[in-house]
C-alpha cells in the first residue's frame, strides 16, 4: 500500500521526461496513484509531435486518460475535466505545472515587456490555475489537494527571470486566496517552490546555467535539488500526510531561499561542476563567467574518445538523426512552436529509446516524422553537445529513401531542398558542423567521420 493507493487525479504540464511534472508523476505512480494527463494540442493533426512526445514520456505510468488541453481555451479545460469525470467519477488531486511567457518578453527586462506578452504570460501562468481549480473543485466532493509549481523569483528579484517573476508572484498570491475560498470544502491549495531544474521552460530563461551554478555553491546543502526530491515533496502535499497544510509555498531548493549572503567558504571561490573531468573545478569568484565556461560543443572522433571526456560522453542522451539525401536534395522540416528553437530548420530525428541503437532510432524517427522509410548508408558525424535541457550525443546518418519519391512532394511537413539552399536556412547550433560536411560534399569532396 503506497501513500497514494486508491487516489486518482490529473497532471497538467508534462512535456517530456525532464519536466518537473514528469518527476512528480513518477513518484505518484510509485505510491499507487491512478493518473490522467493532458498535453498541449498539436497545431498539425497530421504530424502530432507533441501528443506523441508526451505519450511516450508517460506511458510507463499507465495513464487512465490522455487528452489535449490548451489552458487559454475554456472549452478545452471543460472537456479535459469532463473526461476526468467519465474516467474517475471523482478525483483526489490535481498537479498544475504550467507556465509560459513569449520568448522576446521573457528574455528582455521587465520594463520592455509588451502589453500582449504580459497578458499572455499572466493568462497561461496564473489565470490557468484559477480556471483549473474551479473545474477540479466540482469533482472533489470529499475534499482534495491541488498543487502548482513556482520559483523563488516570485518572492525575490532573480536576474534573468524577468516577467516570469511577476507571474510567479501573482501565482503565489492566488494560492492563498484559493486556499481560503476552498478551505470550507476541505480542498487544499499549495505551491511547491522548486530549485532550478533543466526543463524545457527553464532552458528559455536567460542565464539559467548561472542559477544552477549558484545553487551548487551557495545553498546550505551545497548542491542543487534533484527531480525525485521535488516529486517526493509533491506526494507529501497531495497525500493524507499533509491534511493540515494549505495556502503554503513549500520550498524544495536545498535551502537556498534562506540565505542572505554567500558562505564564508564561498566568498573567494565558487565551485562549478566541470564536465571535462571528474570532480569539481574551483575557480576565482570574480572571474568573468564567459571566461570560465567550457565550449558548448565537443566533437568526438568515431573510435577515440579522450579519457577526460568519457564521463560526459557516457551519460549523454543519445539522439539519432536521419540526413535523408536524394539527387543532391535533403529532407528538411521546421521545428514546431511547442519545442525549443521553434521555427528553426531540422532533419528528422529524435531521442533513442531504451536499448535502441542510434541507427534504429534515426530510421524509426524518420518514419514517424515524415512517413518515409529510409536505408542508412553511413555515419556522417557524431558529437556531444550541450543542448538544453540535457547533454546530448548526436548521431547523424546519411540515409536514402527506400521508395520512389517526388522532389516536389511534402512529407508530413518535410520537403526536399537542394544542398545549395541549406546555408540560407536557420539550423540549431548543433547542426553547424554537419552543414559544413554537406557543403564539402556538394563541391565534390567526401566528408570524413568526426
> Do the Cβ atoms of 24 and 97 come closer than 8 Å?
yes
The catalytically annotated residue of 18, 161, 215, 411 is 161
> What would the DSSP string read from start to end of 43-62?
S-TTS-HHHHHHHHHHGGG-
Could you say which of 100, 151, 236, 387 is catalytic?
A: 151
151 is catalytic: yes
Contact between residue 27 and residue 58 where contact means Cβ atoms under 8 Å apart: no
Task: Please state, as a whole number, how many other Cβ atoms lie within 10 Å of the Cβ of residue 304.
Answer: 6
Strand partners, 350: 320
Q: Which residues contact 178 (CB under 8 A, 6 or more apart)?
A: 129, 130, 133, 146, 189
Q: Give the pairing of strands 187-194 and 249-252.
A: parallel
What distance in Å separates the CA atoms of residue 307 and residue 169, rounded to the nearest whole number? 46
C-alpha cell at 411: 512529407
Q: How far apart are CA 99 and CA 122, in angstroms?
A: 9
Angstrom distance (rounded) from CA 194 to CA 198: 12
Tally of residues, the chain: 450
Contact 418, 439 (CB under 8 A): no
The Cα–Cα gap between 1 and 32 comes to 7
Dihedrals phi, psi of 186, to nearest 5 degrees: 60, 30
Distance, first Cα to last Cα, the chain: 52
Q: Show the cell assigned to 205.
A: 530563461
Q: Mapping DSSP to helix (H, G, I), strand (E, B) and coil, where does residue 30 land?
A: helix
**SS3 of residue 135 by DSSP:** helix
Distance CA 346, CA 330 (A): 11
Q: Which residues, 6+ apart, have CB-to-CB distance to 29 below 8 Å?
A: 35, 60, 61, 62
Residues involved in catalysis: 151, 161
Amino acid at each position: 500500500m503506497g501513500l497514494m493507493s486508491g487516489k486518482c487525479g490529473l497532471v497538467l504540464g508534462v512535456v517530456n521526461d525532464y519536466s518537473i511534472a514528469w518527476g512528480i508523476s513518477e513518484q505518484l505512480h510509485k505510491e499507487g496513484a491512478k493518473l490522467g494527463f493532458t498535453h498541449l494540442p498539436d497545431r498539425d493533426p497530421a504530424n502530432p509531435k507533441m501528443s506523441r512526445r508526451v505519450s511516450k514520456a508517460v506511458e510507463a505510468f499507465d495513464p487512465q486518460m490522455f487528452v489535449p488541453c490548451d489552458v487559454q481555451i475554456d472549452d478545452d479545460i471543460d472537456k479535459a475535466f469532463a473526461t476526468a469525470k467519465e474516467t474517475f467519477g471523482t478525483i483526489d488531486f490535481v498537479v498544475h505545472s504550467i507556465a509560459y511567457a513569449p520568448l522576446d518578453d521573457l528574455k528582455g527586462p521587465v520594463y520592455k515587456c509588451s502589453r500582449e506578452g504580459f497578458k499572455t504570460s499572466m493568462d497561461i501562468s496564473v489565470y490557468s490555475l484559477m480556471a483549473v481549480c474551479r473545474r477540479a473543485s466540482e469533482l472533489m466532493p470529499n475534499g482534495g489537494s491541488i498543487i502548482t509549481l513556482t520559483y523563488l523569483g516570485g518572492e525575490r528579484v532573480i536576474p534573468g527571470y524577468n516577467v516570469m517573476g511577476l507571474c510567479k508572484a501573482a501565482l503565489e498570491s492566488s494560492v492563498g486566496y484559493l486556499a481560503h475560498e476552498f478551505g470550507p470544502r476541505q480542498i487544499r491549495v499549495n505551491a511547491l517552490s522548486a530549485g532550478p531544474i533543466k526543463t524545457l521552460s527553464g532552458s528559455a530563461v536567460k542565464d539559467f546555467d548561472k542559477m544552477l551554478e549558484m545553487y551548487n555553491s551557495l545553498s546550505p546543502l551545497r548542491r542543487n535539488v534533484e527531480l525525485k526530491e521535488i516529486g517526493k515533496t509533491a506526494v507529501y502535499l497531495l497525500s493524507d500526510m499533509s491534511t493540515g497544510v494549505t495556502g503554503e509555498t513549500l520550498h524544495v531548493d536545498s535551502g537556498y531561499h534562506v540565505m542572505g549572503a554567500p558562505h564564508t567558504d564561498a566568498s573567494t571561490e565558487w565551485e562549478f561542476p566541470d564536465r571535462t573531468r571528474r570532480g569539481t573545478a574551483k575557480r576565482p569568484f570574480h572571474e568573468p563567467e564567459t571566461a570560465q565556461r567550457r565550449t558548448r560543443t565537443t566533437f568526438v572522433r568515431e573510435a577515440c574518445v579522450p579519457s577526460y571526456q568519457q564521463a560526459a560522453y557516457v551519460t549523454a542522451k543519445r539522439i539519432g538523426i536521419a540526413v535523408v539525401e536524394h539527387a543532391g536534395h535533403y529532407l528538411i522540416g521546421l521545428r514546431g512552436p511547442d519545442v525549443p528553437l521553434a521555427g528553426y530548420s531540422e532533419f528528422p530525428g529524435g531521442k533513442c529509446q531504451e536499448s535502441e541503437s542510434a541507427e534504429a532510432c534515426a530510421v524509426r524517427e524518420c518514419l514517424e516524422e515524415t512517413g518515409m522509410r529510409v536505408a542508412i548508408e553511413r555515419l556522417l558525424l557524431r558529437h556531444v553537445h550541450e543542448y538544453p535541457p540535457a547533454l546530448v550525443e548526436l548521431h547523424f546518418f546519411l540515409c536514402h529513401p527506400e521508395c520512389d519519391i517526388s522532389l516536389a512532394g511534402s512529407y508530413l511537413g518535410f520537403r526536399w531542398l537542394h544542398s545549395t539552399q541549406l546555408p540560407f536556412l536557420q539550423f540549431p547550433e548543433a547542426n553547424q558542423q554537419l552543414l559544413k560536411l554537406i557543403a564539402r560534399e556538394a563541391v565534390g569532396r567526401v566528408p570524413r567521420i568526426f
